[in-house]
Amino acid sequence: MTSTSKTSFQEHRFSASDGLQLYARDYGYDDPRTVAALPIVCLPGLSRNSRDFHLLATRLSTHPDNPRRVIALDYRGRGFSDWDTDKSRYQLPVEAQDVLSACAALEIARAIFIGTSRGGLILHLLATLHPALLAAVVLNDIGPVIEIAGLLQIRQYLEAQQPPQSWQEAIESLKRVHGAAFPALDDPDWEDMAQAIFRKKSGMIVADFDPALIEPLKSIDSSTPVPDLWELYQGFQTMPLMVIRGKNSSILSQATFTEMGQRHPDMKSVTAAGQGHAPLLHRPDLLAEIAAFINTI
């Protein structure tokens, strides 16, 4: 089922391969200039959703010289997609299949993909299993090696997150937790982040994801080995690749970032000054870099 939003995007609801109802936003769908250009598909992080990409998608879909159709997805258990009653299905292979279901439902045979954090991990799978789907890839603060300290940090702030009593309280709580890693953000950025992370449900402002998503993180500690994905990373060799690293990232180390460039000599490397995990992509410096990369595809 598809319905038209009053804002700058169209909303789509469609079925995953197991029947779960999923959600996506579709920007630039009604601009005849986007028809002949490759679309862009945006994949969010672990507990995040399509709203993370609203400003980026709006600007790329209305680019004065090269507008693109931009799709932003809510995985199962996030945003406006259904929560899965089988919590064991919150895993990368299932979510990768959900991306394929989205592409089939929206008739996308080939696209430029932007993957933030977990979205980038999904792209590692798709680059190996379905490389023909990926015309080019932007990885946002993620790579084949994930720092365990960063995972522990994510677990800590997700577990400690309490429902705010007001939107202003939501904004202030995000500043307290993430402010040191994100000195580049201004007040509108923090407000946008709050609106993306939280949603009002039954009169309460709550984090917009199924709490079961963080259960796998509860079993890890600083000694837990995290398997690397270098073998899957090889799948990106056949396509243009851009990797963004937050200067203050706790997930993607500088060493891994450097090695990614060595293993993919044509990789475009971008450092997001004044940002941690994961950088906001609509900030002017990153928006310009992403638009320039996309315009070559």
- Which CATH number goes with the domain that contains 236? 3.40.50.1820
Query: Is residue 270 included in any domain, yes or no?
Result: yes
Per the listing, tokens 């990232």 go with 249
Residue 239's pLDDT is: 97
Q: CA 154, CA 160: separation in Å to the nearest integer?
A: 10
Residue 52 and residue 275 in contact, taking contact as beta carbons nearer than 8 Å = no
User: What pLDDT, on the 0 to 100 scale, is given for residue 7?
Assistant: 55
In a domain, 165, yes or no: no
Distance CA 2, CA 15 (A): 12
**190 found inside a domain:** no
What is the greatest pairwise CA distance in the chain?
A: 53
Q: How confident is the model at residue 157, as a pLDDT?
A: 87
For residue 136, the one-letter residue type is A
Cα separation, 88 vs 212, whole angstroms: 9
Three-class HEC string of 88-102: HHCCHHHHHHHHHHH
163: in domain: no
Domain of residue 10, residue span: 2-149+225-294
The helix or strand, by DSSP H or E, that contains position 272, with its residue range, turns out to be: strand 268-272
User: What's the average pLDDT block by block, 10 residues per block, for the chain (297 residues)?
Assistant: 58 97 97 96 97 97 95 98 97 98 97 98 98 98 97 90 92 96 97 96 94 92 92 97 98 98 97 98 98 96
pLDDT at 8: 87
Q: How far is CA 232 from CA 72, 123, 131, 235, 263, in A?
A: 24, 9, 11, 6, 12
| Residue 178 placed within a domain | no
Structural domain count, the chain: 1
Q: In what order do the strands lie in the sheet with 9-15?
A: 2-4, 9-15, 21-27, 70-74, 40-43, 111-116, 134-140, 241-246, 268-272
215 in any annotated domain = no
